[in-house]
Structure 1
Protein backbone atom coordinates (compact mmCIF):
# COMPACT_ATOMS: atom_id res chain seq x y z
CA UNK A 1 0.00 0.00 0.00
CA UNK A 2 1.43 3.34 -1.13
CA UNK A 3 0.05 6.37 0.70
CA UNK A 4 0.86 9.67 -1.00
CA UNK A 5 1.08 12.62 1.38
CA UNK A 6 0.56 16.15 0.03
CA UNK A 7 -0.92 14.45 -3.01
CA UNK A 8 -2.27 17.58 -4.71
CA UNK A 9 1.14 19.24 -4.92
CA UNK A 10 2.80 16.03 -6.14
CA UNK A 11 0.15 15.44 -8.80
CA UNK A 12 0.44 19.05 -9.99
CA UNK A 13 4.21 18.52 -10.25
CA UNK A 14 3.56 15.59 -12.59
CA UNK A 15 5.47 12.81 -10.84
CA UNK A 16 5.64 10.99 -7.51
CA UNK A 17 7.48 7.91 -6.25
CA UNK A 18 6.84 5.41 -3.45
CA UNK A 19 9.17 4.12 -0.80
CA UNK A 20 10.80 0.70 -1.28
CA UNK A 21 8.97 -2.39 -0.03
CA UNK A 22 10.50 -5.84 0.49
CA UNK A 23 8.54 -8.92 -0.50
CA UNK A 24 9.35 -12.40 -1.77
CA UNK A 25 13.07 -11.75 -1.57
CA UNK A 26 12.85 -8.77 -3.94
CA UNK A 27 12.71 -4.99 -3.50
CA UNK A 28 9.62 -3.27 -4.94
CA UNK A 29 8.74 0.36 -5.60
CA UNK A 30 6.21 2.26 -7.70
CA UNK A 31 5.96 5.64 -9.39
CA UNK A 32 3.28 7.67 -11.13
CA UNK A 33 4.10 10.13 -13.90
CA UNK A 34 2.05 12.26 -16.28
CA UNK A 35 2.81 11.51 -19.93
CA UNK A 36 2.69 13.94 -22.86
CA UNK A 37 -0.95 13.07 -23.58
CA UNK A 38 -1.96 13.86 -19.97
CA UNK A 39 -2.45 10.22 -19.02
CA UNK A 40 -0.87 8.47 -16.05
CA UNK A 41 1.98 6.00 -16.41
CA UNK A 42 2.18 3.86 -13.28
CA UNK A 43 5.54 2.07 -13.18
CA UNK A 44 6.30 -0.95 -11.00
CA UNK A 45 9.97 -1.60 -10.22
CA UNK A 46 11.46 -4.90 -9.03
CA UNK A 47 15.08 -5.42 -7.93
CA UNK A 48 16.91 -8.42 -6.52
CA UNK A 49 19.06 -8.26 -3.40
CA UNK A 50 22.17 -9.20 -5.39
CA UNK A 51 23.91 -8.26 -8.63
CA UNK A 52 23.68 -11.62 -10.40
CA UNK A 53 21.25 -12.98 -12.97
CA UNK A 54 17.66 -13.17 -11.75
CA UNK A 55 14.09 -13.32 -13.01
CA UNK A 56 10.74 -12.72 -11.38
CA UNK A 57 7.37 -13.34 -13.06
CA UNK A 58 4.33 -11.83 -11.39
CA UNK A 59 0.62 -11.25 -11.68
CA UNK A 60 0.24 -7.60 -10.69
CA UNK A 61 -2.89 -5.61 -9.92
CA UNK A 62 -2.84 -1.84 -9.55
CA UNK A 63 -5.59 -0.25 -7.46
CA UNK A 64 -6.11 3.52 -7.28
CA UNK A 65 -8.32 3.93 -4.23
CA UNK A 66 -11.27 6.32 -4.02
CA UNK A 67 -12.50 7.88 -0.79
CA UNK A 68 -15.81 5.98 -1.00
CA UNK A 69 -14.02 2.62 -0.70
CA UNK A 70 -14.15 1.75 -4.40
CA UNK A 71 -11.09 1.74 -6.66
CA UNK A 72 -9.86 1.85 -10.22
CA UNK A 73 -8.12 -1.43 -11.09
CA UNK A 74 -5.68 -2.55 -13.77
CA UNK A 75 -4.13 -6.04 -14.03
CA UNK A 76 -1.02 -7.15 -15.89
CA UNK A 77 1.36 -10.07 -16.16
CA UNK A 78 4.95 -8.81 -15.86
CA UNK A 79 8.37 -10.39 -16.27
CA UNK A 80 11.19 -8.65 -14.42
CA UNK A 81 14.86 -9.57 -14.73
CA UNK A 82 18.34 -8.16 -14.20
CA UNK A 83 18.15 -6.36 -17.56
CA UNK A 84 14.59 -5.06 -17.22
CA UNK A 85 13.53 -4.02 -13.73
CA UNK A 86 10.76 -1.57 -14.72
CA UNK A 87 7.30 -2.41 -16.07
CA UNK A 88 4.46 0.02 -16.80
CA UNK A 89 0.71 -0.07 -16.40
CA UNK A 90 0.33 2.12 -19.51
CA UNK A 91 -2.21 4.95 -19.60
CA UNK A 92 -4.19 3.60 -16.71
CA UNK A 93 -6.13 6.73 -15.83
CA UNK A 94 -6.29 10.35 -17.00
CA UNK A 95 -3.90 12.42 -14.87
CA UNK A 96 -6.47 15.18 -14.08
CA UNK A 97 -8.69 12.55 -12.43
CA UNK A 98 -6.04 12.11 -9.73
CA UNK A 99 -6.59 15.75 -8.75
CA UNK A 100 -10.31 15.10 -8.21
CA UNK A 101 -11.52 14.98 -4.61
CA UNK A 102 -12.81 11.42 -5.16
CA UNK A 103 -9.20 10.21 -5.07
CA UNK A 104 -7.99 12.33 -2.16
CA UNK A 105 -8.80 12.30 1.54
CA UNK A 106 -7.38 15.12 3.67
CA UNK A 107 -4.66 15.74 1.15
CA UNK A 108 -3.68 12.08 0.86
CA UNK A 109 -4.09 9.62 -1.98
CA UNK A 110 -3.61 5.86 -1.81
CA UNK A 111 -2.47 3.27 -4.34
CA UNK A 112 -2.19 -0.49 -3.83
CA UNK A 113 -0.09 -2.92 -5.85
CA UNK A 114 -1.12 -6.54 -5.31
CA UNK A 115 1.72 -8.80 -6.44
CA UNK A 116 1.59 -12.58 -6.88
CA UNK A 117 4.97 -14.11 -7.69
CA UNK A 118 4.33 -17.29 -9.68
CA UNK A 119 7.95 -18.02 -10.62
CA UNK A 120 11.37 -16.64 -9.85
CA UNK A 121 15.00 -17.56 -10.39
CA UNK A 122 17.99 -16.57 -8.26
CA UNK A 123 15.93 -14.30 -6.06
CA UNK A 124 16.91 -16.61 -3.22
CA UNK A 125 20.65 -16.21 -3.87
CA UNK A 126 21.92 -16.63 -0.31
CA UNK A 127 19.98 -19.89 0.07
CA UNK A 128 20.56 -21.29 -3.42
CA UNK A 129 24.04 -22.70 -2.75
CA UNK A 130 26.04 -23.93 0.26
CA UNK A 131 27.82 -21.28 2.30
CA UNK A 132 29.88 -21.03 5.49
CA UNK A 133 26.72 -20.76 7.59
CA UNK A 134 24.68 -23.60 6.04
CA UNK A 135 24.73 -27.24 7.11
CA UNK A 136 21.41 -28.67 5.92
CA UNK A 137 19.23 -28.53 2.82
CA UNK A 138 15.48 -27.96 3.09
CA UNK A 139 13.62 -29.31 0.07
CA UNK A 140 10.26 -27.74 -0.78
CA UNK A 141 8.81 -29.22 -3.93
CA UNK A 142 11.58 -29.00 -6.53
CA UNK A 143 13.33 -26.16 -4.71
CA UNK A 144 16.29 -26.58 -2.36
CA UNK A 145 17.32 -24.09 0.32
CA UNK A 146 20.69 -24.18 2.10
CA UNK A 147 20.18 -23.06 5.70
CA UNK A 148 21.70 -23.28 9.17
CA UNK A 149 20.22 -25.81 11.60
CA UNK A 150 21.41 -23.81 14.60
CA UNK A 151 20.04 -20.49 13.36
CA UNK A 152 16.57 -21.85 12.62
CA UNK A 153 16.56 -23.81 15.90
CA UNK A 154 17.16 -20.59 17.85
CA UNK A 155 14.00 -19.09 16.36
CA UNK A 156 11.81 -22.20 16.25
CA UNK A 157 11.39 -25.05 18.77
CA UNK A 158 9.87 -27.10 15.95
CA UNK A 159 13.10 -26.87 13.96
CA UNK A 160 15.10 -27.48 17.15
CA UNK A 161 13.32 -30.81 17.69
CA UNK A 162 13.52 -31.69 13.98
CA UNK A 163 17.25 -31.02 13.74
CA UNK A 164 18.45 -32.06 17.19
CA UNK A 165 15.71 -34.28 18.64
CA UNK A 166 15.32 -38.03 18.47
CA UNK A 167 14.20 -38.10 14.84
CA UNK A 168 15.73 -39.74 11.79
CA UNK A 169 15.87 -36.34 10.08
CA UNK A 170 18.57 -35.02 12.41
CA UNK A 171 21.27 -37.00 10.59
CA UNK A 172 20.05 -36.24 7.07
CA UNK A 173 21.81 -33.76 4.82
CA UNK A 174 18.54 -33.02 3.02
CA UNK A 175 15.13 -32.77 4.67
CA UNK A 176 11.86 -32.45 2.77
CA UNK A 177 9.34 -29.98 4.17
CA UNK A 178 5.83 -30.78 2.95
CA UNK A 179 2.63 -28.72 2.74
CA UNK A 180 4.58 -25.46 2.51
CA UNK A 181 4.39 -22.84 -0.23
CA UNK A 182 7.95 -22.19 -1.39
CA UNK A 183 7.57 -18.43 -1.94
CA UNK A 184 5.95 -18.00 1.48
CA UNK A 185 8.72 -19.93 3.23
CA UNK A 186 11.28 -17.86 1.34
CA UNK A 187 9.63 -14.74 2.79
CA UNK A 188 10.08 -16.27 6.26
CA UNK A 189 13.77 -16.97 5.65
CA UNK A 190 14.41 -13.48 4.33
CA UNK A 191 12.67 -12.02 7.37
CA UNK A 192 14.58 -14.16 9.88
CA UNK A 193 17.99 -13.95 8.21
CA UNK A 194 18.07 -10.51 6.60
CA UNK A 195 15.04 -8.52 7.68
CA UNK A 196 14.41 -7.75 3.99
CA UNK A 197 10.76 -8.82 4.10
CA UNK A 198 8.33 -6.63 6.01
CA UNK A 199 5.16 -7.67 7.80
CA UNK A 200 2.52 -6.07 5.58
CA UNK A 201 -1.16 -6.60 4.85
CA UNK A 202 -0.08 -8.87 1.98
CA UNK A 203 2.49 -10.94 3.88
CA UNK A 204 0.90 -11.17 7.33
CA UNK A 205 -1.51 -14.06 6.52
CA UNK A 206 1.22 -16.47 5.39
CA UNK A 207 3.79 -15.24 7.91
CA UNK A 208 1.24 -15.87 10.67
CA UNK A 209 0.59 -19.34 9.29
CA UNK A 210 4.30 -20.19 9.27
CA UNK A 211 4.93 -18.56 12.66
CA UNK A 212 2.17 -20.72 14.13
CA UNK A 213 3.32 -23.88 12.36
CA UNK A 214 6.93 -23.48 13.49
CA UNK A 215 6.08 -21.82 16.85
CA UNK A 216 8.06 -18.63 16.19
CA UNK A 217 6.73 -16.54 19.08
CA UNK A 218 8.41 -13.23 18.19
CA UNK A 219 6.94 -13.33 14.70
CA UNK A 220 3.50 -14.16 16.08
CA UNK A 221 3.66 -11.12 18.35
CA UNK A 222 4.87 -8.79 15.59
CA UNK A 223 2.19 -10.07 13.21
CA UNK A 224 -0.49 -9.54 15.86
CA UNK A 225 0.79 -6.01 16.42
CA UNK A 226 0.58 -5.30 12.68
CA UNK A 227 -2.99 -6.57 12.50
CA UNK A 228 -3.99 -4.46 15.49
CA UNK A 229 -2.88 -1.25 13.77
CA UNK A 230 -3.74 -2.14 10.16
CA UNK A 231 -6.50 -0.25 8.38
CA UNK A 232 -6.14 -2.27 5.20
CA UNK A 233 -7.52 -5.57 6.53
CA UNK A 234 -11.24 -5.87 7.23
CA UNK A 235 -12.71 -6.69 10.62
CA UNK A 236 -14.06 -10.06 9.46
CA UNK A 237 -10.62 -11.20 8.29
CA UNK A 238 -9.00 -9.95 11.51
CA UNK A 239 -11.48 -11.94 13.59
CA UNK A 240 -10.88 -15.02 11.44
CA UNK A 241 -7.11 -14.74 11.90
CA UNK A 242 -7.47 -14.07 15.64
CA UNK A 243 -9.53 -17.27 16.05
CA UNK A 244 -7.28 -19.32 13.80
CA UNK A 245 -4.05 -18.30 15.54
CA UNK A 246 -5.35 -17.53 19.06
CA UNK A 247 -4.53 -13.81 18.91
CA UNK A 248 -6.34 -12.79 22.08
CA UNK A 249 -5.39 -9.11 22.16
CA UNK A 250 -6.67 -8.66 18.61
CA UNK A 251 -10.19 -9.50 19.80
CA UNK A 252 -10.27 -6.92 22.61
CA UNK A 253 -11.31 -3.92 20.43
CA UNK A 254 -14.21 -5.95 19.00
CA UNK A 255 -15.41 -6.97 22.47
CA UNK A 256 -15.18 -3.38 23.69
CA UNK A 257 -17.05 -2.08 20.64
CA UNK A 258 -19.97 -4.49 20.89
CA UNK A 259 -20.23 -4.36 24.68
Structure 2
Protein backbone atom coordinates (compact mmCIF):
# COMPACT_ATOMS: atom_id res chain seq x y z
CA UNK A 1 0.00 0.00 0.00
CA UNK A 2 1.32 3.43 -0.95
CA UNK A 3 0.51 6.49 1.14
CA UNK A 4 0.80 9.89 -0.51
CA UNK A 5 0.73 13.08 1.53
CA UNK A 6 -1.58 15.82 0.30
CA UNK A 7 0.67 18.54 1.74
CA UNK A 8 4.15 19.31 0.47
CA UNK A 9 6.45 21.56 2.47
CA UNK A 10 8.76 23.21 -0.03
CA UNK A 11 10.74 25.02 2.65
CA UNK A 12 10.78 23.10 5.95
CA UNK A 13 11.62 26.12 8.09
CA UNK A 14 9.93 27.87 10.99
CA UNK A 15 10.05 31.54 11.91
CA UNK A 16 10.40 32.26 15.61
CA UNK A 17 9.95 35.76 17.02
CA UNK A 18 12.07 36.54 20.06
CA UNK A 19 11.17 39.40 22.37
CA UNK A 20 13.62 40.40 25.07
CA UNK A 21 14.38 43.44 27.18
CA UNK A 22 17.65 45.24 26.61
CA UNK A 23 19.20 47.51 29.22
CA UNK A 24 21.39 50.53 28.45
CA UNK A 25 23.12 52.73 31.02
CA UNK A 26 25.30 55.83 31.04
CA UNK A 27 26.60 58.49 33.39
CA UNK A 28 26.91 61.94 31.87
CA UNK A 29 28.61 64.91 33.54
CA UNK A 30 27.81 68.53 32.81
CA UNK A 31 29.92 71.41 34.10
CA UNK A 32 27.96 74.65 34.18
CA UNK A 33 30.57 77.42 34.13
CA UNK A 34 29.64 81.01 34.93
CA UNK A 35 26.46 80.02 36.72
CA UNK A 36 25.73 83.57 37.95
CA UNK A 37 25.53 84.72 34.35
CA UNK A 38 22.68 82.28 33.78
CA UNK A 39 20.46 84.21 36.22
CA UNK A 40 19.55 86.57 33.42
CA UNK A 41 17.73 83.70 31.71
CA UNK A 42 15.40 83.36 34.70
CA UNK A 43 12.69 80.76 34.08
CA UNK A 44 13.96 79.88 30.58
CA UNK A 45 14.98 76.27 29.89
CA UNK A 46 18.62 75.94 28.87
CA UNK A 47 20.15 72.87 27.20
CA UNK A 48 23.19 71.87 29.23
CA UNK A 49 24.24 68.71 27.41
CA UNK A 50 23.24 66.15 24.81
CA UNK A 51 24.17 62.47 24.49
CA UNK A 52 23.09 59.24 22.80
CA UNK A 53 21.82 56.11 24.51
CA UNK A 54 19.74 53.09 23.44
CA UNK A 55 19.66 54.36 19.87
CA UNK A 56 18.14 57.71 20.85
CA UNK A 57 19.27 61.26 21.50
CA UNK A 58 18.75 62.68 24.98
CA UNK A 59 19.26 66.17 26.35
CA UNK A 60 19.74 67.50 29.88
CA UNK A 61 18.09 70.85 30.41
CA UNK A 62 17.85 73.15 33.41
CA UNK A 63 16.27 76.41 34.54
CA UNK A 64 18.49 78.52 36.79
CA UNK A 65 15.66 80.49 38.42
CA UNK A 66 12.31 78.80 38.01
CA UNK A 67 9.57 80.60 39.95
CA UNK A 68 7.14 78.38 41.87
CA UNK A 69 4.17 79.60 43.96
CA UNK A 70 2.78 77.60 46.87
CA UNK A 71 -0.84 77.50 48.01
CA UNK A 72 -0.39 80.82 49.77
CA UNK A 73 0.96 82.45 46.63
CA UNK A 74 4.38 82.64 48.15
CA UNK A 75 7.04 82.81 45.45
CA UNK A 76 10.14 80.64 45.66
CA UNK A 77 12.93 80.32 43.09
CA UNK A 78 14.38 76.91 42.29
CA UNK A 79 16.95 75.40 39.98
CA UNK A 80 15.21 72.70 37.95
CA UNK A 81 16.48 69.83 35.83
CA UNK A 82 14.70 67.85 33.14
CA UNK A 83 15.53 64.95 30.85
CA UNK A 84 14.40 65.37 27.25
CA UNK A 85 13.93 62.52 24.77
CA UNK A 86 14.72 64.25 21.48
CA UNK A 87 13.99 61.43 19.03
CA UNK A 88 10.72 59.54 18.57
CA UNK A 89 10.82 55.98 19.97
CA UNK A 90 9.27 53.03 18.16
CA UNK A 91 8.62 51.08 21.36
CA UNK A 92 7.94 52.19 24.95
CA UNK A 93 11.04 52.66 27.11
CA UNK A 94 11.31 52.40 30.90
CA UNK A 95 13.69 55.14 32.04
CA UNK A 96 15.39 55.56 35.41
CA UNK A 97 16.79 59.08 35.75
CA UNK A 98 18.93 60.48 38.56
CA UNK A 99 20.43 63.95 38.99
CA UNK A 100 23.18 64.68 41.51
CA UNK A 101 25.14 67.84 42.28
CA UNK A 102 28.79 67.05 42.96
CA UNK A 103 31.15 68.98 45.21
CA UNK A 104 34.77 69.60 44.42
CA UNK A 105 35.63 66.10 45.68
CA UNK A 106 33.14 64.53 43.29
CA UNK A 107 30.73 63.58 46.08
CA UNK A 108 27.05 64.26 46.57
CA UNK A 109 24.45 63.99 49.32
CA UNK A 110 20.77 63.02 49.54
CA UNK A 111 19.65 66.65 49.62
CA UNK A 112 21.44 67.21 46.29
CA UNK A 113 20.22 64.04 44.58
CA UNK A 114 16.85 63.24 43.10
CA UNK A 115 15.63 60.38 40.93
CA UNK A 116 12.51 59.34 39.08
CA UNK A 117 11.19 56.59 36.85
CA UNK A 118 9.06 57.08 33.81
CA UNK A 119 7.79 55.30 30.71
CA UNK A 120 8.61 57.22 27.54
CA UNK A 121 6.14 56.24 24.81
CA UNK A 122 6.98 59.24 22.66
CA UNK A 123 9.49 62.03 22.62
CA UNK A 124 9.09 64.53 25.47
CA UNK A 125 10.54 65.46 28.84
CA UNK A 126 10.28 64.90 32.54
CA UNK A 127 12.28 66.08 35.53
CA UNK A 128 12.43 67.95 38.81
CA UNK A 129 10.67 71.30 38.94
CA UNK A 130 11.88 71.99 42.47
CA UNK A 131 15.26 70.32 42.55
CA UNK A 132 16.83 72.85 44.98
CA UNK A 133 16.01 76.34 46.10
CA UNK A 134 18.25 78.84 44.43
CA UNK A 135 19.14 80.46 47.75
CA UNK A 136 20.29 77.12 49.18
CA UNK A 137 22.29 76.38 46.03
CA UNK A 138 24.13 79.71 46.27
CA UNK A 139 25.14 78.90 49.84
CA UNK A 140 26.02 75.25 49.22
CA UNK A 141 29.34 73.51 48.66
CA UNK A 142 28.26 72.53 45.16
CA UNK A 143 28.64 75.98 43.67
CA UNK A 144 32.34 76.78 43.68
CA UNK A 145 34.09 79.44 41.62
CA UNK A 146 30.75 80.11 39.95
CA UNK A 147 30.74 76.56 38.51
CA UNK A 148 28.24 73.78 39.08
CA UNK A 149 29.08 70.12 38.38
CA UNK A 150 26.02 68.00 37.57
CA UNK A 151 25.95 64.22 37.25
CA UNK A 152 23.18 62.66 35.18
CA UNK A 153 22.75 58.90 35.56
CA UNK A 154 20.43 57.30 33.04
CA UNK A 155 19.23 53.73 32.58
CA UNK A 156 16.96 52.78 29.69
CA UNK A 157 15.13 49.49 29.31
CA UNK A 158 13.36 48.73 26.07
CA UNK A 159 11.96 45.61 24.41
CA UNK A 160 13.63 44.35 21.27
CA UNK A 161 12.23 42.00 18.69
CA UNK A 162 14.16 39.61 16.49
CA UNK A 163 13.08 36.91 14.08
CA UNK A 164 15.00 33.67 13.83
CA UNK A 165 14.64 31.00 11.20
CA UNK A 166 14.59 27.52 12.66
CA UNK A 167 15.66 25.09 9.97
CA UNK A 168 17.25 21.68 9.73
CA UNK A 169 20.18 21.79 7.32
CA UNK A 170 20.22 18.66 5.19
CA UNK A 171 23.75 17.63 4.16
CA UNK A 172 24.49 17.20 0.45
CA UNK A 173 24.06 13.76 -1.14
CA UNK A 174 26.80 11.27 -0.28
CA UNK A 175 25.84 8.43 -2.60
CA UNK A 176 28.64 9.10 -5.10
CA UNK A 177 31.17 9.00 -2.24
CA UNK A 178 29.81 5.70 -0.98
CA UNK A 179 29.80 4.15 -4.43
CA UNK A 180 33.27 5.56 -5.03
CA UNK A 181 34.43 3.72 -1.91
CA UNK A 182 32.78 0.57 -3.20
CA UNK A 183 34.61 0.89 -6.51
CA UNK A 184 37.98 1.50 -4.85
CA UNK A 185 37.58 -1.18 -2.17
CA UNK A 186 36.27 -3.80 -4.65
CA UNK A 187 34.22 -5.27 -1.80
CA UNK A 188 31.49 -7.55 -3.12
CA UNK A 189 32.69 -7.30 -6.73
CA UNK A 190 31.26 -10.06 -8.92
CA UNK A 191 32.64 -9.43 -12.39
CA UNK A 192 36.22 -9.17 -13.70
CA UNK A 193 37.15 -7.25 -16.84
CA UNK A 194 40.25 -8.31 -18.73
CA UNK A 195 41.87 -5.33 -20.40
CA UNK A 196 44.73 -6.79 -22.46
CA UNK A 197 47.24 -7.59 -19.71
CA UNK A 198 45.35 -5.71 -17.00
CA UNK A 199 42.24 -6.56 -15.00
CA UNK A 200 39.70 -4.66 -12.95
CA UNK A 201 36.63 -5.75 -11.03
CA UNK A 202 33.20 -4.24 -10.59
CA UNK A 203 29.62 -4.95 -9.47
CA UNK A 204 27.15 -6.19 -12.07
CA UNK A 205 24.09 -4.59 -10.48
CA UNK A 206 25.66 -1.13 -10.34
CA UNK A 207 26.86 -1.31 -13.94
CA UNK A 208 23.47 -2.56 -15.06
CA UNK A 209 21.67 0.25 -13.25
CA UNK A 210 23.81 2.85 -15.00
CA UNK A 211 24.22 1.43 -18.51
CA UNK A 212 21.61 -0.24 -20.74
CA UNK A 213 24.41 -2.14 -22.48
CA UNK A 214 25.74 -3.61 -19.23
CA UNK A 215 22.14 -4.39 -18.21
CA UNK A 216 21.68 -6.44 -21.36
CA UNK A 217 25.06 -8.14 -20.89
CA UNK A 218 24.58 -9.20 -17.29
CA UNK A 219 20.84 -9.67 -17.00
CA UNK A 220 19.83 -10.42 -20.56
CA UNK A 221 20.30 -13.38 -22.81
CA UNK A 222 23.88 -12.49 -23.82
CA UNK A 223 26.78 -14.77 -22.98
CA UNK A 224 28.19 -12.40 -20.32
CA UNK A 225 25.08 -12.87 -18.20
CA UNK A 226 26.29 -16.36 -17.38
CA UNK A 227 29.92 -15.52 -16.66
CA UNK A 228 31.88 -13.51 -14.16
CA UNK A 229 34.68 -12.68 -16.61
CA UNK A 230 34.48 -10.28 -19.58
CA UNK A 231 37.12 -9.54 -22.21
CA UNK A 232 37.45 -5.88 -23.27
CA UNK A 233 39.49 -5.55 -26.46
CA UNK A 234 38.32 -2.41 -28.26
CA UNK A 235 38.73 0.09 -25.42
CA UNK A 236 42.04 1.09 -23.89
CA UNK A 237 42.48 0.03 -20.26
CA UNK A 238 42.86 3.59 -18.92
CA UNK A 239 39.76 4.69 -20.82
CA UNK A 240 37.66 1.77 -19.57
CA UNK A 241 38.77 2.32 -15.96
CA UNK A 242 37.95 6.03 -16.20
CA UNK A 243 34.53 5.14 -17.55
CA UNK A 244 33.93 2.70 -14.68
CA UNK A 245 34.95 5.37 -12.17
CA UNK A 246 32.41 7.74 -13.72
CA UNK A 247 29.70 5.07 -13.56
CA UNK A 248 30.22 4.77 -9.80
CA UNK A 249 30.79 8.45 -8.92
CA UNK A 250 29.41 10.66 -11.74
CA UNK A 251 32.90 12.19 -11.91
CA UNK A 252 36.11 11.64 -13.82
CA UNK A 253 39.05 10.22 -11.87
CA UNK A 254 40.61 12.88 -9.62
CA UNK A 255 44.08 14.26 -10.23
CA UNK A 256 44.09 13.54 -13.96
CA UNK A 257 44.14 16.13 -16.75
CA UNK A 258 41.95 14.75 -19.52
CA UNK A 259 43.66 15.38 -22.85
CA UNK A 260 41.88 16.05 -26.13
CA UNK A 261 42.63 12.51 -27.27
CA UNK A 262 41.45 11.01 -23.97
CA UNK A 263 38.21 12.98 -24.21
CA UNK A 264 37.64 11.48 -27.68
CA UNK A 265 38.23 7.94 -26.44
CA UNK A 266 35.94 8.48 -23.45
CA UNK A 267 33.20 9.81 -25.71
CA UNK A 268 33.47 6.69 -27.87
CA UNK A 269 33.25 4.48 -24.78
CA UNK A 270 30.30 6.50 -23.43
CA UNK A 271 28.53 6.14 -26.76
CA UNK A 272 29.19 2.41 -26.80
CA UNK A 273 27.73 1.86 -23.32
CA UNK A 274 24.88 4.38 -23.48
CA UNK A 275 26.28 6.85 -20.93
CA UNK A 276 24.76 10.06 -22.26
CA UNK A 277 25.92 12.38 -19.49
CA UNK A 278 29.54 11.24 -19.81
CA UNK A 279 29.20 11.69 -23.55
CA UNK A 280 28.09 15.32 -23.09
CA UNK A 281 30.91 15.99 -20.61
CA UNK A 282 33.44 14.75 -23.16
CA UNK A 283 31.79 16.81 -25.91
CA UNK A 284 32.13 19.93 -23.75
CA UNK A 285 35.83 19.20 -23.19
CA UNK A 286 36.36 18.71 -26.93
CA UNK A 287 34.69 22.06 -27.66
CA UNK A 288 37.28 23.86 -25.57
CA UNK A 289 40.13 22.29 -27.59
CA UNK A 290 38.89 22.96 -31.11
CA UNK A 291 41.02 25.12 -33.41
CA UNK A 292 41.46 25.55 -37.17
CA UNK A 293 43.51 22.34 -37.43
CA UNK A 294 41.19 20.08 -35.42
CA UNK A 295 37.75 21.53 -36.30
CA UNK A 296 37.09 19.45 -39.42
CA UNK A 297 38.26 16.18 -37.86
CA UNK A 298 36.25 16.84 -34.70
CA UNK A 299 33.17 17.57 -36.81
CA UNK A 300 33.56 14.27 -38.64
CA UNK A 301 34.05 12.57 -35.27
CA UNK A 302 30.84 14.15 -33.92
CA UNK A 303 28.88 12.93 -36.93
CA UNK A 304 30.30 9.42 -36.64
CA UNK A 305 29.25 9.06 -32.99
CA UNK A 306 25.95 10.93 -33.28
CA UNK A 307 26.90 13.72 -30.89
CA UNK A 308 24.56 16.50 -32.02
CA UNK A 309 25.69 19.25 -29.60
CA UNK A 310 29.35 18.76 -30.57
CA UNK A 311 28.43 18.64 -34.24
CA UNK A 312 26.44 21.92 -34.05
CA UNK A 313 29.30 23.62 -32.23
CA UNK A 314 31.79 22.51 -34.88
CA UNK A 315 29.54 23.66 -37.74
CA UNK A 316 29.23 27.13 -36.19
CA UNK A 317 33.00 27.22 -35.62
CA UNK A 318 33.86 26.21 -39.19
CA UNK A 319 31.32 28.61 -40.74
CA UNK A 320 32.56 31.65 -38.81
CA UNK A 321 34.27 34.48 -40.69
CA UNK A 322 37.45 34.12 -38.70
CA UNK A 323 37.92 30.36 -39.22
CA UNK A 324 36.38 29.33 -42.55
CA UNK A 325 39.42 29.99 -44.77
CA UNK A 326 41.87 28.38 -42.34
CA UNK A 327 39.72 25.26 -41.93
CA UNK A 328 39.07 24.79 -45.65
CA UNK A 329 42.78 24.53 -46.53
CA UNK A 330 43.34 21.65 -44.09
CA UNK A 331 43.55 18.01 -45.20
CA UNK A 332 40.93 17.12 -42.62
CA UNK A 333 38.41 19.33 -44.40
CA UNK A 334 38.81 17.39 -47.62
CA UNK A 335 38.19 14.18 -45.70
CA UNK A 336 35.12 15.78 -44.09
CA UNK A 337 33.67 16.72 -47.48
CA UNK A 338 34.15 13.22 -48.85
CA UNK A 339 32.97 11.35 -45.76
CA UNK A 340 30.16 13.64 -44.59
CA UNK A 341 28.74 15.48 -47.62
CA UNK A 342 25.52 16.28 -45.74
CA UNK A 343 27.47 18.33 -43.21
CA UNK A 344 28.90 20.46 -46.02
CA UNK A 345 25.36 21.59 -46.81
CA UNK A 346 24.84 22.67 -43.19
CA UNK A 347 28.11 24.60 -43.26
CA UNK A 348 27.07 26.40 -46.47
CA UNK A 349 23.74 27.36 -44.96
CA UNK A 350 25.56 28.83 -41.94
CA UNK A 351 28.01 30.67 -44.22
CA UNK A 352 25.12 32.32 -46.10
CA UNK A 353 23.78 33.71 -42.81
CA UNK A 354 27.19 34.92 -41.68
CA UNK A 355 28.24 36.54 -44.93
TM-score by length of 1: 0.45
Higher relative contact order (CA 8 A, sep 6+): 1
- Decide which structure has the larger Cα Rg and report it: 2
Question: How does the TM-score come out when normalised to structure 2?
Answer: 0.34
